[in-house]
Amino acid sequence: MRYIFLVLSLSLIAHASFCQFSCGSAVSIASGYSTASNITTPGTNGIQDWVTSANVACGTATTSSGGFVNSDVYLFKYTTGASAGETFYFTISYNEAVDGPHSIGVWDNCSGTVLSGCKTSTYKFENVVGVCAQNLAANTTYYIGISKEWASLDGEYLKFKVLDFTVELSNTQPNDNCSSAPTIGLSNSFTGSTRCNYTASVGSPSVCGMSIENDSWVKFIPSATSVVINYTVSGCTYNSGVQLSVFRGNCSALTLVTGTCLNYATNNSTGTYTLSGLTIGQTYYLRADGYAGDLCSYTYNAISGVSTPSGLPVEMKSLSANCNDGLTRLNWQTASEHNSQYFGIERSDDGYAWYEIGTVSAAGNSNSAIDYSFEDEERIWNKAYYRLKQVDQDGVTKIYGPVTSNCASSKEAWKLQPNPANGEWAVQLQSIDKNQTAVVSIFNETGSKIHEEQFELLTGGTLMHVTAPQLSSGVYFVQLAIGSEESSIQKLIIL
């Protein structure tokens, strides 16, 4: 029998009174958050390696050269609201020549000093760095970590200030390219931005003396020869504003609508776009570009002369995920459907990489509420993400969600690390509230038990290194039983 104990570093405990070195002491922020003065971490004069584990690769910034694991990591946290689809942009400034490049990462899970569930990350060799996290799950806490970028800078202090933290509540964002711009109408306002990874689009005309850096696009169809659209610009990182212009034609050959150059709408401003001499039924494209690359939010309210988009395949009323004995059931309701074909159900372990696990046929056409459901046949004993890909008769798709499901009990939140594995692997148990005995069993694909091992667990988190015989490539099933708790099973892939 082998006993494995998790021993917490006494030095780490001794430093617990310092600032944001662990998940529990991450700073809570909300939309509009900023800091007037610099944040400075101890570096070589204090705690180093504040985060002991993070994703090996997370977005454009990786830990292969040090990154988030081998540096002071200052943590913030933000919890989304009840509606899925939020987007946030978090931006910092620092003196790159003095303090070196900084990285920003976003995760949806943090336990002790371990970050997991990478959403995205970024870094720049500039004095301003911003990260954009889109299509966020509802009622979920996301952790934002700032660290040094290179291993050669490990242990040096971090010094930065937060320029702004902006949350956009719209599920529909403008598109970076003219060809796939969403259509706006009279039914509701449209909120977009120049923030989230937008670049100068190919073929975007340089008109009115504008220099195009980060344009984003929407389109509208006039129902009259005159159109009135109100706009609001706010939350600009550099306090400059947004350049607006309107085009007709097609995206490969756009022609400026005379008199539509607005260079520029300043930060925290409102105004009215009055367009005349338009052709009813023709598609027009409205471009917003950050002045001198400014990162701004904007809202359009079409007041008159704009057709309400028709033929939307599905009007989604609700979408939820519930766990029952390790099986997740999705329930959703549509208020109306137009030429709908089917729903593809997609699952993700990290909210980043998605794969389809099933389909449900849609009603086709309906003006009344319809209830749908789908049960995931695979038992998922940890947090998982689900979303719907609605496909209409013309092959046009729209994503709804994501929503989350967590089938792990408070005493049995565990995972296999790494998985898939190439050689050694372990069972990571996030937290237990008292000393207990755990039994780990391994089964092959035919259901035969090939190994069993017992561990004595201490209160808190535990990493159990299983001394199983060398496993050949294939699929195995690992069963974990803790004390008198009912066993749960996870799939292990050996490469």
- 195 pLDDT higher than 90: no
Distance, in Å, from the CA atom of 100 to the CA atom of 97, rounded to the nearest integer, reads: 6
What are the distances in angstroms from CA 457 to CA 5, 224, 429, 436, 468?
Answer: 6, 72, 10, 5, 19
Distance, in Å, from the CA atom of 274 to the CA atom of 269, rounded to the nearest integer, reads: 16
What local confidence, expressed as pLDDT, does residue 431 receive? Answer: 53
Note the pTM of the prediction, 2 decimals: 0.50
What local confidence, expressed as pLDDT, does residue 268 receive? Answer: 87
What is the edge-to-edge ordering of all strands in the sheet holding 114-124?
Answer: 27-28, 74-79, 141-148, 102-111, 114-124
Name the architecture of domain 314-406. Sandwich (2.60)
One-letter amino acid at 143 equals Y
pLDDT, mean over the chain: 77
**Structure-token match 């040094």, residue found:** 148
What local confidence, expressed as pLDDT, does residue 271 receive? Answer: 92
Averaged pLDDT for residues 98-109: 84
**Structure-token match 């699952």, residue found:** 347
Q: Are 10-168 and 414-494 equal in CATH topology?
A: no
Q: Per mean pLDDT, which range of 131-135, 253-257, 466-470 is the poorest?
A: 466-470
Contacts (Cβ under 8 Å, ≥6 apart) of 460? 6, 8, 112, 431, 432
Pick the CATH number of 178-304 from 2.60.120.380, 3.60.15.10, 3.20.20.70, 1.10.150.20: 2.60.120.380
Three-class SS of residue 387?
strand
Distance, in Å, from the CA atom of 245 to the CA atom of 243, rounded to the nearest integer, reads: 7
Name the architecture of domain 414-494. Sandwich (2.60)
Higher-pLDDT residue of 173, 371: 371
Q: Dihedral angle at the C-alpha atoms of 121, 357, 389, 384, nearest 10 degrees?
A: -40
pLDDT digits (tens, 9 = 90+) for 41-71: 776 544 444 555 565 456 555 544 445 665 6
| Domain covering 10-168, topology | Jelly Rolls (2.60.120)
| Residue 183 DSSP symbol | B
Q: Are 147 and 189 in contact, with CB atoms under 8 Å apart?
A: no
Q: Domain boundaries in the chain? A: 10-168, 178-304, 314-406, 414-494
